[in-house]
Structure 1
């Protein structure tokens, strides 16, 4: 079965997510921003979601993790929880 390693930052608004995405593009540290701004418990781990398998995450995030390019910052991606910035490290 497929698996992937990813991290994300969960935010309350699309504008906030877009602003953080710009900061990431300018070289700010993903893990540091996740610890400071993410509303997900994974924020305490720098946004680390660990190893995930298809179907473990909500559909919108699952699509990014298993279909989008590796090592890029994707988003803002809307889910029922808010707006996510997602980065995928590897996929088997």
Structure 2
């Protein structure tokens, strides 16, 4: 079964997600931003979700994790929980 090592940041609105993405792209530490802003419990761990198996996350996020490029920052991606920034560290088959 396919799986991936992923970290993410979840916020309530797209504007904040875009601002945080710019900060990370400018060099601010992903984990620091996650701890300060993410509304997901994973925020306390710097956004680390650990190993995710295909089908484990909500539809739009699951699709992104298993189709978008590895080692890049993606988002904002909308789900029923809010707006996500995703970093797919790597995937395994």
Aligned residue in 1 for 2:72: 72
Unaligned runs of 5+ in 1: none
Unaligned runs of 5+ in 2: none
Aligned residue in 2 for 1:86: 86
In the TM superposition, what are the counterparts of 1:8-47 in structure 2 within 5 Å?
A: 8-47=8-47
Distance between the aligned counterparts of 1:64 and 1:74, measured in 2? 8
CA RMSD of aligned residues (A): 0.4
Offset at residue 64 of structure 1 (A): 1.1
TM-score, scaled relative to structure 2 = 0.97
Distance between the aligned counterparts of 1:89 and 1:22, measured in 2? 19
**SS of corresponding position for 1:57:** coil
Distance between the aligned counterparts of 2:82 and 2:75, measured in 1? 11
**SS of corresponding position for 1:71:** coil
> How many aligned residue pairs are there?
92
Runs (4+) of structure 1 exceeding 6 A deviation are none
